[in-house]
Structure 1
Amino acid sequence: MPRTALITGVAGQDGVYLARHLKALGYHVVGTLRPGSRWAPTTLGRAYAYLDGVQLVDLDQRDHEGWAAVLAGLRPDEIYNLAGFTSVGASWGAAQVVAESNGMAVLRMLEELIRFRDRHGWAPRFFQPSSSEMFGVTDQQPQTENTPHHPRSPYAATKSFAHHLVVNYRESYGLFTSTGTLYNHESPLRSPEFVTRKISRGVAEIALGRRSTITLGNLDVRRDWGFAGDYARAMHLTLQRDEPADFIIATGVCRALSDVLALAFEAAGIADVESHLGQDPALMRPADVAQLVGDPTKAREELGWEPTVSFERVMQHMVEVDMRRVSDGVEDSAGFLHP
């Protein structure tokens, strides 16, 4: 019998890449969608471009009773908890929602796993995506699995809370719970409010004469950027080990946002970046983190994982896809997924 994987938040960027990867490996994949979202089973449409063959279920991440019912009815072998609030910048204006979605929801999920094990004598393996933003202001460059957390946003604080919960429930109750601390990872499926997609879309529209400038905030922030498809592979690998553990999932290469911008304009064949660039202080975060770069040594040595797509190629692909979207008006296609 094929193994069953449950992916919460399956319609997001990471959920799509992971679902397709697991389907290719022969899994039966079930994914949850927030009721009333554009991806809800009653209003699917565009989701079939990416989630064909995936069983879809309505479930709000904060609905404890709904989660218990899905877990009891499905009895999955593996759970990948990808649902939740994902925007660092927007988290400042929605702190309570972020705390419920990213923090308390994880606590309730873990509690239900214990109750499930008490009834059935076993429990599914559980993956929690942690965030590099948890490290916040740190002098340790690059960060490792042992770097202390100093979160600098409501989003980062809730991800740190969930990360420590997963570790504690593993150590205290013996659950198979693993974390992957994911550094920035991008693709054409990234939502437009994220800066890399804002850049790729804006540059595409400039190249096609639909606008003249793109407005951004702090261009000096430095991050470790990779390809979302590579990071989905890493998520799966963390649950295939004999013992659960925590991993940094990163490329080990750090770039300034200004470098990302230059890569995008280069992909569109535009040499003069400055004349198309505007900066807005309103886009600055209340407490920004200057630099984050991860050390992926443990993932390489213990998971056999390494990135396969350079970030230069990722940005080139994102710009090319957005140029096709602007030109043809087709926003979603399975052909957009991989460079």
Structure 2
Amino acid sequence: MKRAFVTGITGQDGSYLAELLLEKGYEVHGLVRRSSLLNRSRIDHLHDDARLHLHYGDLTDGVSLVNLVRMIEPHEVYNLGAMSHVKVSFEMPDYTASTNAIGTLRLLEAIHAARLECRFYQASTSEMFGSTPPPQDEQSTFHPRSPYGSSKLQAHWVTINYREAYGMFAVSGILFNHESPRRGENFVTRKITKAVAAIEAGIQDHVELGNLDAVRDWGYAPEYVEGMWRMLQQDEPDDYVLATGVGHTVRDFCAAAFEHAGLRWEDHVKHNESFERPAEVDALIGNASKAHGALGWRAETHALDLARLMVDADRGDVSRLLGG
């Protein structure tokens, strides 16, 4: 039985990846940060699977990573843990760098020091491209526009460095935005779809958003974790962009979500400049041709269908909340 170690297992991507790996017969070990409140709702449904093991630790604690890597002896490591909110990274730049950049270095060094012959996946991000004009692919110039993007770029390059310096099977998946009903409520897509469900039910009247003109390439998270797994099944390590190749504005996503509930977004969306970034990323649209050819991977769900899918899920949550 293959063993996988997943950081960020309680997040959106981590929960879908855990499901995928368990379906494929893996023993799955997940890294969980200790807190006074349990935040495992995304993986609660996996609780009874004896092949799932959760361990307390943190990417800012190198000792915990060394001990866990030596104890688990994983065949595959998926580093999905991060301080992942771009706007918040401007307010917490030191923590963002320590978790995202140095945390990746700590994990890679723990694997190297243990002399494990395991395969390593680094969750890189389209935010590394920043102000580079689209479409962006594996050869595009990096120009991050936030502490988050900068920290992820350092993690990306240190992954490449460990691959080249020590011959590690280490890959980076440069994933463009990918969403789902499990997306955190402070991310713009989920903020929109959750608001649509609440407004339709009469619970709230409006939602406040920042830049409606930002263009993003939104895909569906379960499809993207399949791409992560495929990267670690290749004969040789390499880096891949995963994206739909289609860009939409935040306004487009809003319109699709509200229209699905029979509402006009213009009646319920208010602008709040406090939600805008100090340095904006205008347009991220990926070219995943390399992944199409090498991995046989292709995005099937695009932004506007995703908006409707997420609205339906949030409608269900509201109905349960109201006792429907």
TM-score, normalized by the shorter chain, greater than 0.5 = yes
Deviations 1:51-99 (A, max 9, x none): 5422111111111111111111110000000111000000000000001
Amino acid at match of 2:315: M
In structure 2, relative to structure 1, the CA distance for the partners of 1:311 and 1:51 (3 Å cut) is farther
Q: Displacement, 1:123?
A: 2.2
Q: Displacement, 1:329?
A: 2.0
Alpha-carbon contact 2:12-2:42 (below 8 Å) kept = no
Amino acid at match of 1:162: A
Q: 1:184 aligns with which of 168, 177, 180?
A: 177
2:24 alignment counterpart: 25
Q: Displacement, 1:297?
A: 0.2
Q: Which range moves more in the overlay, 9-18 or 48-57?
A: 48-57
Q: Displacement, 1:37?
A: 6.1
* 3-state SS of paired residue (1:278): strand
Q: Displacement, 1:267?
A: 1.7
Alpha-carbon contact 1:11-1:39 (below 8 Å) kept = no
Which consecutive unaligned segments of at least 5 residues does structure 2 have? none
Q: Distance in 2 between matches of 1:158 and 1:51?
A: 33
Alpha-carbon contact 1:217-1:283 (below 8 Å) kept = yes
Alpha-carbon contact 2:248-2:303 (below 8 Å) kept = no
Report whether the alignment pairs 1:10 with 2:1: no
* 3-state SS of paired residue (1:160): helix
Q: Distance in 2 between matches of 1:218 and 1:25?
A: 41
Alpha-carbon contact 1:136-1:151 (below 8 Å) kept = yes
Report whether the alignment pairs 1:80 with 2:78: yes
Report whether the alignment pairs 1:303 with 2:301: no
1:333 alignment counterpart: none
Which consecutive unaligned segments of at least 5 residues does structure 1 have? 331-339
Q: 1:48 aligns with which of 19, 41, 44?
A: 44
Q: 1:96 aligns with which of 84, 94, 100?
A: 94
Report whether the alignment pairs 1:173 with 2:196: no
CA RMSD of aligned residues (A): 1.4
Q: Distance in 2 between matches of 1:19 and 1:92?
A: 30
Amino acid at match of 1:62: T
Q: Distance in 1 between matches of 2:317 and 2:140?
A: 41
Report whether the alignment pairs 1:280 with 2:272: yes
In structure 2, relative to structure 1, the CA distance for the partners of 1:37 and 1:13 (3 Å cut) is farther
Correspondence list, 1:131-170, <5 A = 131-139=125-133, 141-170=134-163
Alpha-carbon contact 2:15-2:42 (below 8 Å) kept = no
2:224 alignment counterpart: 231
Amino acid at match of 1:27: Y
Report whether the alignment pairs 1:213 with 2:209: no
Q: Distance in 1 between matches of 2:36 and 2:221?
A: 22
Query: Percent identity at matched positions?
Result: 41
Q: Distance in 2 between matches of 1:27 and 1:89?
A: 35
Q: Displacement, 1:50?
A: 4.8
* 3-state SS of paired residue (1:89): helix
Q: Distance in 2 between matches of 1:30 and 1:214?
A: 38
Alpha-carbon contact 1:10-1:32 (below 8 Å) kept = yes
Report whether the alignment pairs 1:110 with 2:108: yes
* 3-state SS of paired residue (2:241): strand
Alpha-carbon contact 1:152-1:288 (below 8 Å) kept = yes
1:334 alignment counterpart: none
Q: Displacement, 1:107?
A: 1.0
Deviations 1:305-331 (A, max 9, x none): 01132332221121111111112129x
How many residue pairs match? The answer is 320
Alpha-carbon contact 1:34-1:59 (below 8 Å) kept = yes
1:335 alignment counterpart: none
Q: Displacement, 1:253?
A: 0.5
* 3-state SS of paired residue (1:90): helix
Report whether the alignment pairs 1:289 with 2:281: yes
* 3-state SS of paired residue (2:86): coil
Deviations 1:284-309 (A, max 9, x none): 11001100110000001000101132
Q: Distance in 2 between matches of 1:46 and 1:253?
A: 28
Alpha-carbon contact 1:16-1:50 (below 8 Å) kept = no
Q: 2:262 aligns with which of 253, 269, 275?
A: 269
Amino acid at match of 2:120: F
Q: Which range moves more in the overlay, 294-303 or 308-317?
A: 308-317
Q: Distance in 1 between matches of 2:232 and 2:317?
A: 36
